[in-house]
Structure 1
């Protein structure tokens, strides 16, 4: 039986909690077991519900998120902590208390997804991560025939008007499937969105070069073109690539 990851969402703003819960419920293996609106309530519910992870706001009345996180470290079962806040200046302190990630409001769907992937890597057995929606090969119909592309041979995918193009070292294929749907199906593999319209296979990344205004250009094995990496994805991309 597949294990689920129990999550407690803590934020003193109701709409922020609702947004985070909605984004988390789109991710595989995640079960939101409760929510809290203060640091004190977070500790009580953590004792009661025994969550695996807390998505925890920093700035809250009375006991703030940092204080709550330190108190949670004293529990018999210590949960993982993901800070989710509007304040970037607390990041250094967050990682000193071993937070697994630090998300900034307004929440970005891709950043929440990457945080969940890190949590899955920590808490789930590798064989389970690959069980949901894991195709052995990608089926592509061409001239009335169906080709099956080994997932590891895919270098990148991008949206071109009404089709999604899938590129390998020697071939280019077209799919009617949306890029978002492909991203969901390939989640157990090493694919990462670098731009609104581009997803790359991290196994084939060769070089990352600074470009301008915080953006980068990315090169892949076996291809000569350079792909643009949006500055919104650069930090998470480097975290995924670097040891």
Structure 2
């Protein structure tokens, strides 16, 4: 275990990474962020478990592929704590993104981690814990999403988004005109868009209730929510909540209104 401490108040974070150079680099980057007060490092999932509660961590930045107790297993242990820390996965593969956000991860970073991307994750941790406001674009309720490309900027209206899909380090927004990638976590998008009708249909998908015109059972995908932009898989875990939200939308006249 290694520790880097600041004297100013801020977040106490734990870095869990079995590769020494990557662990040190991540700890140094985190230690340079003003909102971070204390960085503790552990070389394995088992070492991280031994550190729990001493001190209480605000966030854990952890690798997925580790010998012994891997990152996914450790995240499940952390989620059962009475006051669980925010989880940020830091990994070389995007293949676990849907599972990660299903566990409740605040963010999912791909190696090598860029300092500005790591800073965004810390901002999300602060937002989740109610610790700070931020001037990060996008704004507040994200009624318009601004997406920067190399030579142009695309503005996507929230009202045009029919569903959102976790896609590695990004979220893919599906509209009638095509798809757009934005660097946000699906869990954060759910937090800010749930009040305006977006519902978790699957651990990797949000769907706008107003765009759903049908629920259907298919032979290939099981239960799906049908929108003009495409079919959205519905997991057994989320099917009841989605059906209830669609029923509420039907009673209020919202269901199908967006597609009209």
Q: Whole-Å Cα distance in 2 between the matches of residues 7 and 209 of structure 1?
A: 30
Q: Whole-Å Cα distance in 2 between the matches of residues 111 and 81 of structure 1?
A: 15
Structure 1 residue 76: Cα displacement: 2.5
Q: Whole-Å Cα distance in 1 between the matches of residues 140 and 81 of structure 2?
A: 37
Moved over 6 A (4+): 201-207, 209-212, 237-242
Identify the match of residue 122 of structure 1 among 120, 128, 131: 128
RMSD: 3.5
Q: Which structure 2 segments of 5+ residues have no match?
A: 1-7, 156-168, 171-180, 194-260
User: In structure 2, do the counterparts of structure 1 residues 189 and 208 end up closer, same or farther at CA, with 3 Å as the change threshold?
Assistant: closer
Structure 1 residue 235: Cα displacement: 2.5
Structure 1 residue 77: Cα displacement: 2.4
Q: Whole-Å Cα distance in 2 between the matches of residues 35 and 207 of structure 1?
A: 36
Q: Whole-Å Cα distance in 2 between the matches of residues 36 and 70 of structure 1?
A: 17
Identify the match of residue 49 of structure 1 among 55, 62, 82: 55
Aligned to 2:153: 217
Q: Deviations over 1:79-105 (max 9, x none)?
A: 110000111101111111100000000
Aligned to 2:247: none
Q: Deviations over 1:7-29 (max 9, x none)?
A: 00000011111111122122222
Structure 1 residue 109: Cα displacement: 1.5
Contact 1:9 1:32 in 2 (8 A): no
User: In structure 2, do the counterparts of structure 1 residues 72 and 92 end up closer, same or farther at CA, with 3 Å as the change threshold?
Assistant: same
Q: Secondary structure at the match of 2:100?
A: helix
Q: Which structure 1 segments of 5+ residues have no match?
A: 130-187, 193-200, 220-231
TM-score (norm 1): 0.56
Aligned to 1:184: none
TM-score (norm 2): 0.52
Q: Deviations over 1:56-79 (max 9, x none)?
A: 100000110001111122223211
Q: Secondary structure at the match of 1:113?
A: helix
Identify the match of residue 189 of structure 1 among 119, 135, 146: 135
Contact 2:59 2:88 in 1 (8 A): yes
Q: Indicate whether 1:236 and 2:183 are aligned.
A: yes
Identify the match of residue 58 of structure 1 among 39, 59, 64: 64
Identify the match of residue 106 of structure 1 among 112, 115, 126: 112
Q: Whole-Å Cα distance in 2 between the matches of residues 36 and 202 of structure 1?
A: 35
Contact 1:33 1:51 in 2 (8 A): no
Contact 1:3 1:124 in 2 (8 A): no
Q: Indicate whether 1:30 and 2:36 are aligned.
A: yes
